[in-house]
Structure formats: structure tokens, C-alpha cells
């Protein structure tokens, strides 16, 4: 019996959050919510010209994530044991903090917090932690053309913003799993380790850190 109703798998670009969320959904009969980033027309433009396209990109993600999550939670699926997603709405603010500055970020933050309270918060927030060099390897492996311009510096900034959000919002329950020494995609035993930490351990509000 799963003790959670809503779990989020998060992490930096290339951490494996979609892979893990999908595998858990299949193994545990969970409702799966996947981010629709591939449909965003601003994403390739942003990586080519961040200064010009950062604000419309972040606003479009904010609107689409809110719309998707609201629609998904309005649709009840009585045959699924719980809901699992490969992103949390707060991702919008975390990434915007890395791409926007000054008045643009202040305006964006105001809009974000107006919407943020309207959506359900997860019972457990799982963050997959990988060092930027490993993230770059994973990004290159999946071969998305527009991601070739992503730098380790950008990934480090995103990582720092995740941990800043965790510290600033300690009411949530965060499980931070360091996966630098394992490969849960290729190794079933490594995947089982993660499953055990998610479903068979108790955690308190705030940051709970585990190294596998």
C-alpha cells in the first residue's frame, strides 16, 4: 500500500526524472504526469539567444504548467493508486531565477506566487542530484539538437536555485537523492535502492539527503 497520494520526481536537466517517474508509474500503477516541454516554440530560440527569449520562454512555461496540472488534477482516475509527475510547478520559479533579472524577475515572481497557492503540493518531493559534468553526458546522450548549447555553468546555476528554493520553503518534504555513483536506468539493483528510499522510509519536512 503506497502511503503517498502525490509524488514529484525533480532534478536538473538530464538527471533522469522522466525516466524514473515513468518507470515508477508503470511498476506501481500510478497516474503519470509528464511535462510538455517538447511543444514549447520558445525553447530552441532561448538556447540560441537567451537574453532575447528568456522572459517569453519562462512565461509560456508558467502558463502551460499551470494549465496542465490544473487539468490533470481535475480528472480523477479511481483505478490508479497515486499520482506521480516528472516536474513540480515551482520549477517555473527556479528556472526563471537563472534566466531573468531585475524588474522582469520581480514581475515574474509576483505572478508565480499568485498561481502557486492554487495548485496541490506533493506529499513527497524527490530531487535527483547529479553533478553538472554527469548531466552534460546525459544531455549529449539523448541528442536533442537545441540542448547542445547548455553549459555546465548554466546547470550549476539551476542546481543552486533548486537548493535555494528548498531552503526558502521548508514546509515541503524534500528527499534529495545523490545518484552520482549509481545508474538506475541500466542497473535494476540501483533502481530498487531508489524505490526503497522513496516508499519504505520516513521523512520530515525540509531537506532529507541520501547518498546512494
The pLDDT tens digits for 82-107 are 999 999 999 999 999 988 999 999 99
Whole-number Å distance between alpha carbons of 23 and 17:
10
Q: From the candidates 27, 86, 160, 178, give the one annotated as an active-site residue.
A: 86
* DSSP-assigned letter for residue 5: S
Domains in the chain (CATH in brackets) are 6-211 (3.40.50.300)
Confidence of residue 2 (pLDDT cuts 50, 70, 90): confident
Could you tell me which residues come within 8 angstroms of residue 111 by beta carbon, excluding any fewer than 6 positions away? Answer: 59, 62
Whole-number Å distance between alpha carbons of 13 and 132:
9
Could you tell me which residues come within 8 angstroms of residue 36 by beta carbon, excluding any fewer than 6 positions away? Answer: 64, 68
* DSSP-assigned letter for residue 180: T
CB atoms inside a 10 Å sphere around CB 71: 10
Give me the sign of the Cα torsion angle 115, 118, 119, 125.
Answer: positive
Per-residue pLDDT at 1 exceeds 80: no
pLDDT of residue 75: 86
- pLDDT tens for each residue of 12-64: 999 999 999 999 999 999 999 998 866 778 888 888 888 889 999 999 999 99
How, if at all, do strands 83-85 and 31-33 pair?
A: parallel
86 belongs to the catalytic site: yes
Least confident range from 35-44, 124-133, 158-167: namely 35-44
- pLDDT tens for each residue of 178-208: 999 999 999 999 999 999 999 999 999 999 9
Amino acid at each position: 500500500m503506497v502511503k503517498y497520494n502525490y509524488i514529484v520526481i525533480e532534478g536538473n536537466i538530464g538527471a533522469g526524472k522522466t525516466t524514473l517517474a515513468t518507470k515508477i508509474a508503470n511498476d506501481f500503477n500510478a497516474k503519470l504526469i509528464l511535462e510538455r516541454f517538447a511543444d514549447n516554440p520558445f525553447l530552441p530560440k532561448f538556447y540560441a539567444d537567451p537574453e532575447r527569449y528568456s522572459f517569453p520562454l519562462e512565461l509560456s512555461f508558467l502558463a502551460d504548467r499551470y494549465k496542465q496540472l490544473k487539468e490533470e488534477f481535475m480528472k480523477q482516475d479511481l483505478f490508479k493508486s497515486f499520482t506521480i509527475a516528472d516536474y513540480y510547478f515551482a520549477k517555473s520559479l527556479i528556472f526563471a531565477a537563472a534566466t531573468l533579472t531585475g524588474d522582469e524577475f520581480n514581475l515574474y515572481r509576483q505572478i508565480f506566487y499568485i498561481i502557486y497557492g492554487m495548485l496541490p503540493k506533493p506529499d513527497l518531493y524527490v530531487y535527483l542530484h547529479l553533478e553538472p559534468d554527469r548531466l552534460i553526458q546525459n544531455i549529449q546522450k539523448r541528442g536533442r539538437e537545441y540542448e547542445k548549447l547548455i553549459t555546465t555553468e548554466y546547470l550549476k546555476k539551476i542546481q543552486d536555485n533548486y537548493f535555494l528554493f528548498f531552503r526558502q520553503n521548508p514546509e515541503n518534504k524534500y528527499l534529495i537523492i545523490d545518484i552520482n555513483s549509481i545508474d538506475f536506468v541500466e542497473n535494476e539493483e540501483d533502481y530498487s535502492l531508489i524505490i526503497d528510499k522513496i516508499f519504505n522510509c520516513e521523512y520530515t519536512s525540509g531537506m532529507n539527503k541520501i547518498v546512494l
